[in-house]
Amino acid sequence: MKSASRIMLPALATLLLSVAFSNTSLATRNLARADEASRPAAPPLPEPAPRPPLHPRIDALIEARLNGVTVAPQSDDAEFLRRVYLDLAGRIPTAMEAREFLADSTPDKRERLVDGLLSGPEYPRRMRELFHAMLLERRGDNDEWTVFLRNAFEQNLPWHLIARAILKPDENDEQLRGAAFFMTQRLVSEGAMAPVDVPGLTRDVARLLAGIDLECAQCHNHLTISHYLQRDFQGLHMIFENVKTRNDLKFPAVSEGVLSEKKEFKSVFEQVAMKTGPLIPGGEEVSIPTFEKGQEYLVEPDRKARMPGVPKFSPLEELSERLASPQNDLFTRNIVNRLWWVMMGRGLVEPLDLHHADNPPSHPELLDLLASEFAASSFNIRWLVRELTLSKTYQRTTRLLYTSAAEQPHESYAIGLEKRLSPEQLFWSLITATGDLERHRQRLAKEGKASLNSEAVVEQTPDLKSLKRAMIDTFANPPKEPEVDFAPSVKGALFLMHEDQILRLLKPQTGNLIERATSQSDDDTVRELCLCVLTREPADDELATLTDYLKQNADRRDEAIANLTWALLTSTEFVVNH
Amino acid sequence: MRQSVCSAAEHGISRRRVLGTLAGTGAGLGLGALGGLVQPAVGEELKQKERQVVLLWLDGGMSQLESWDPKPNTRFGGPFRSIETLIPGVQISELMPNTAKLMDRLAIVRTMKTEDPNHSSGVPKILRGHPKNRGVVYPYFGSAVAKLMGPTSSGLPPYLWVKPGSGGFISKYAGFLGAKYGALALGDGQPPENMLPPETLSERNALERRDLQKLFNQRYAATHRREWNEANSYVYDVADKLMQHSKLFDESLLPDRDHERYGRHDFGRHTLLARNLVEAGVRFVQVTSYGWDSHGDNFNAHASRVPKVDQAFSALVSDLDDRGMLDNVLVVMMAEFGRTPRINGSVGRDHWPNAWSLAMAGCGIKAGQVVGKTLDDGTDVATEPYDIGHMFHTWYQALGVDSQKTEFMNGTQPLPIAHDEMEPVAELLA
């Protein structure tokens, strides 16, 4: 990894870069980096050659560290199907999609399904929902931010450009300017007694984009992690102390002040004055250029227009280019570790934001490989997700099919690991299972609104829109808490048990699951419910028990079917991605 | 649209099993009661004793001079007299006549000396026992007890918080322990959202749903790692427990006599609910009364408020005693600080962490005594000062938790449960 040659940006990325950064600020950058000023500008290179498949190498490195642990078999088709829909489309498959896949006997059907999902309309939505929760941690939402994430994932924008849009938002780029919400929402005052939490912003940038949690290094060097220094925190913090939310624009945007001096700080323990300039996580200190008084600005502030002005020296720009860079190990390792965690259920480095030398990855060679290959792919998220999905490691069953299986260490990846469903995945899966998404799609089509995508259907159906909001409120973690662990709540249980919006889904309606089930034989009803909700056939004894239940309650069949459906929808098998 | 509080789950034990033996209950999760503890052995003993806590929190700061430490006829004494209590020589404010009669069951500490004169930072400091800064956010007392002792055998959530205003699950109180140890807040004593089944859901259907759900869950658990299904099943079990106790939330079922004794004001109603919650088996109940920040018109404010506290607090302590519960229930009443002896230009008293009082009862606390003494004009402590850390040590010891040996685990980092340079106050422990 360290020896990886300098990776050039592909043509597309370079183009976007020049949109994101004005020529004037590029000139400033040369001033700021005297050491690099003599280096000739790199000519844009063509798109890198297609990468050789990564997934066999992933599997080889996982197997190399099994240490005799027995490997679980690959998932069966039904298990794989459900998992891959949840991970790549953000929902379970419909019964029709399931039947089609299960009946397909061609050998490459898994790969074709993966490619179909990755190029489908739901993959960008799923990624947007995933990264929204990961980056904003339920601090709120904003239309411009949504536009930014939508564009980012619909265009498969390289990860370093996503990160740069966040770190140095460009208010002139309508496609991506909403990325500023990452900063502005963290710079909101939470009341008269609470100062704006700039240290919190510093911490989050380091945690989420560099995988290091510097919280404890704000006031002194970290006590237990020798690699996290107070200087790291202070050098990053001074960049954000210089940032203000712009209030002259109607969308989220930030401005920077003039930064002309190093920052002085003291450890609370030693009280010795130290100094640092802007410091890039995983990188170096940025030298601060000096300008004659009155020459600091490219664009002078305009008080009348409430325009804050544009200084020649932009620490945010330095940060965005030097952190979000293929040369920055922390940056590349953080993102591949997070994507690995999303797909595999456990980070190679755990916790996700504690990368340091004394907390090594479970598979160091694999983390290095993923990082260097991801950088070499020019940070192509869709490509990496595809490779992870195609690995045997991803496709292993979560079932304990042999006696010692439950004792296998999680970090061996010998058995598939279960994953928490996000509130969004739960919502989309619920309305997929009950048929309400399809039912309303058809209703809207009859009203002349043909072929709406799922989001538009929800947006135009007040019941579903309200249910989505309620489910995110109920099942999301509180603001500022990463959604990492499976954390079912009493609130969630009571919501599923008693909330009218849930119970309504269990009444027969034209085209929904309950209505379909009521008109079938007992056997077919049970099969239909199992397939629609759990994406599998009922086992023989299960089928016998459940048809018996329906038979005994033939006089109140609608109620019995509703009960059965509720139980399926709230079962652990449904609310977990396995 | 709610049906009567007598809900389906109330008959959980005797009910007809829809699916016969297939639908047995799974093993409980135990809420990781001992999961992060260095010394799990301590926990077993605790569970048997079922010790519990009621914390009465007077947010904003009750004046010690108008309650536990009156200084009548002194420079800063204010207009109220002091009265004798059941313990000869111990006097408290005349605003607390009922409490005075219970002094043999109480201990007062008059030499609280803490650091923080601000509400916003003082409240969390006191409620966390203000341990040494280790760069982590410590849990509030209720979350810490929920972690250290878990739910009682009742299975009810371990940390309930009765407060005016809105309710909800307050995860931030749990600090580094993690969201699940947060407080379940009952806004104005109302039950959690969606607790009561809607009219449209019959008891029979509710039972069948849960039985069928268990059937699916058992099948899943048989072939997967246990933790996921245990966690998912546990929250339904707790929901059932809450529903079984839904009568707790119906004030109309309580005798008039109780309402009169506790008072029909918020603090009275909420303290009465707290009594019922500990009786039902909740491990830790916090009751909050807001609005004690009397920078202006301090004396009228206390003349109106302290008697309400006196009424509810004395009713609670005597009820617990009458029921034989006081041996196992620790009652603490305090705030983030007291109020200045100096009376300001608005006839108010300001924030005063320098010398304030709190009171406690039950759970082996040595009662009928006053610990510490302040100067004659109340401006400072005259005897050994105590920080909130000393109190946390004392309360943990009373609850049967060795506060000097037990540690939390924050990942791999062991953390003392109370300030490690402080110790229990020996004279408070019988």
Which one of A215, A398, A560 has the shortest CB-CB distance to B224?
A398
CA nearest B413 in A: which residue? Answer: A224
Closest CA to A559 of B207, B331, B28, B299: B207
The answer to whether the Cβ–Cβ distance between A572 and B216 falls below 8 Å is yes
Q: pLDDT digits over A39-67, tens only? A: 444 444 445 557 789 999 999 999 999 98
The answer to whether the Cβ–Cβ distance between B217 and A566 falls below 8 Å is no
What's the rounded mean pLDDT across residues A374-379?
96
CB < 8 Å from A in window 22-41 of B: 22
What's the rounded mean pLDDT across residues B178-186?
87
The answer to whether the Cβ–Cβ distance between A488 and B229 falls below 8 Å is no
Which residues, 6 or more positions from B66, have their beta carbon under 8 angstroms from its beta carbon? B78, B80, B93, B95, B298, B299, B302, B306
The predicted structure's pLDDT at residue A192: 62
How far apart (Å, rounded) are the C-alpha atoms in residues A138 and B406? 35
Beta partners for A509? Answer: none
The predicted structure's pLDDT at residue A218: 86
The minimum CA-CA distance between B262 and chain A, rounded to whole Å, is 30
Q: How would residue A193 be classed by pLDDT, with cut points 50, 70 and 90?
A: low
What's the rounded mean pLDDT across residues B46-53?
72
The predicted structure's pLDDT at residue B46: 46
The answer to whether the Cβ–Cβ distance between B220 and A567 falls below 8 Å is no
Q: pLDDT digits over A494-526, tens only? A: 999 999 999 999 999 999 999 999 999 999 999
Flag whether pLDDT at B32 surpasses 70: no
Contact B361, B107 (CB under 8 A): yes
Identify which has the larger pLDDT, A13 or B114: B114
CA B335 to chain centre: 12
Over chain B, what is the mean pLDDT? 88
Over chain A, what is the mean pLDDT? 90
Q: Peptide bond preceding A169: is omega within 30 degrees of 0, i.e. cis?
A: no
Flag whether pLDDT at A32 surpasses 60: no
Question: Which residues in chain B are closer than 8 Å to A193, comparing Cβ atoms?
Answer: 119-120
Q: pLDDT digits over B299-352, tens only? A: 999 999 999 999 999 999 999 999 999 999 999 999 999 999 999 999 999 999
Flag whether pLDDT at B12 surpasses 60: no
Q: How would residue A25 be classed by pLDDT, with cut points 50, 70 and 90?
A: very low
What's the rounded mean pLDDT across residues B196-205?
94
CA nearest A538 in B: which residue? Answer: B216
Q: pLDDT digits over B373-395, tens only? A: 999 999 999 999 999 999 999 99
CA nearest A409 in B: which residue? Answer: B225
The predicted structure's pLDDT at residue A22: 34
What's the rounded mean pLDDT across residues A319-337?
97
Flag whether pLDDT at A110 surpasses 70: yes
How far apart (Å, rounded) are the C-alpha atoms in residues B416 and B90? 35
What's the rounded mean pLDDT across residues B23-51?
40
The predicted structure's pLDDT at residue A195: 75
How far apart (Å, rounded) are the C-alpha atoms in residues A231 and A63? 40
CB < 8 Å from A in window 117-176 of B: 119-120, 134-135, 157, 168-169, 171-172
What's the rounded mean pLDDT across residues A380-406?
94
Identify which has the larger pLDDT, A221 or A416: A416
Q: How would residue A487 be classed by pLDDT, with cut points 50, 70 and 90?
A: confident
Contact A145, A133 (CB under 8 A): no
Q: How many CB pairs under 8 A join A and B?
A: 139
How far apart (Å, rounded) are the C-alpha atoms in residues A353 and A212? 5
Q: pLDDT digits over A243-267, tens only? A: 999 999 999 999 999 999 999 999 8
The predicted structure's pLDDT at residue A194: 64
Question: Which residues in chain A are closer than 8 Å to B225, comparing Cβ atoms?
Answer: 398, 400, 406, 418
Beta partners for B338? Answer: B352
The answer to whether the Cβ–Cβ distance between B231 and A488 falls below 8 Å is yes
The answer to whether the Cβ–Cβ distance between B228 and A499 falls below 8 Å is no
Two tokens, residue A176: 């991506």
Which one of B135, B196, B212 has the shortest CB-CB distance to A564?
B212
Question: Which residues in chain A are closer than 8 Å to B413, comparing Cβ atoms?
Answer: 224
Q: How would residue B133 be classed by pLDDT, with cut points 50, 70 and 90?
A: confident
Closest CA to B44 of B33, B28, B36, B54: B33
How far apart (Å, rounded) are the C-alpha atoms in residues A379 and A336? 10
Two tokens, residue A556: 């109140």
B205-227 exposure pattern, b = at least 16 Cβ within 10 A, e = fewer: bbbbbbbbbbbbbbbbbeebbee
Mutate to test the interface with B, among A193, A474, A483, A490 (most CBs of B within 10 A): A490
CA nearest B411 in A: which residue? Answer: A351
Q: How would residue B120 be classed by pLDDT, with cut points 50, 70 and 90?
A: confident
User: How does DSSP assign B153-173, residue by residue?
Assistant: TT---SEEEEESS--EEEGGG
CB < 8 Å from A in window 202-241 of B: 202, 205-206, 208-213, 215-217, 219-221, 223-226, 228-229, 231-236, 238-239
Cα–Cα–Cα angle for A93, A98, A99, rounded to 5 degrees: 155
* Type of residue at B187: G
The answer to whether the Cβ–Cβ distance between A401 and B219 falls below 8 Å is no
The minimum CA-CA distance between B342 and chain A, rounded to whole Å, is 25
User: How does DSSP assign A252-271, residue by residue?
Assistant: --EEE----SPEEEE-TTT-
Q: Taking the C-alpha atoms of B298, B304, B308 and B314 in order, what is their torsion angle to the nearest 10 degrees?
A: 70
How far apart (Å, rounded) are the C-alpha atoms in residues A6 and B153? 62
The answer to whether the Cβ–Cβ distance between B216 and A568 falls below 8 Å is yes
Identify which has the larger pLDDT, A42 or A82: A82
Q: pLDDT digits over A520-553, tens only? A: 999 999 999 999 999 999 999 999 999 999 999 9
Mutate to test the interface with A, among B170, B190, B205, B213 (most CBs of A within 10 A): B213
3-class secondary-structure state, position B220: helix
Q: Does B201 touch chain A (CB under 8 A)?
A: yes
* Type of residue at A50: P
The predicted structure's pLDDT at residue B25: 30
Determine what percent of chain A is predicted with pLDDT higher than 70: 91
The answer to whether the Cβ–Cβ distance between B232 and A488 falls below 8 Å is yes
Q: Does B415 touch chain A (CB under 8 A)?
A: no
Cα–Cα–Cα angle for B205, B208, B210, rounded to 5 degrees: 110
The predicted structure's pLDDT at residue A17: 34
Question: Which residues in chain B are closer than 8 Å to A475, comparing Cβ atoms?
Answer: none
Question: Which residues in chain A are closer than 8 Å to B120, comparing Cβ atoms?
Answer: 193-194
The predicted structure's pLDDT at residue B171: 81
How far apart (Å, rounded) are the C-alpha atoms in residues A357 and A341? 19
Contact A289, A32 (CB under 8 A): yes
**Across A13-17, A413-417, A542-546, least confident range:** A13-17
The predicted structure's pLDDT at residue B411: 78
Domains of chain B: 36-193+250-428 (3.40.720.10)
ipTM: 0.89
Question: Which residues in chain B are closer than 8 Å to A351, comparing Cβ atoms?
Answer: 411
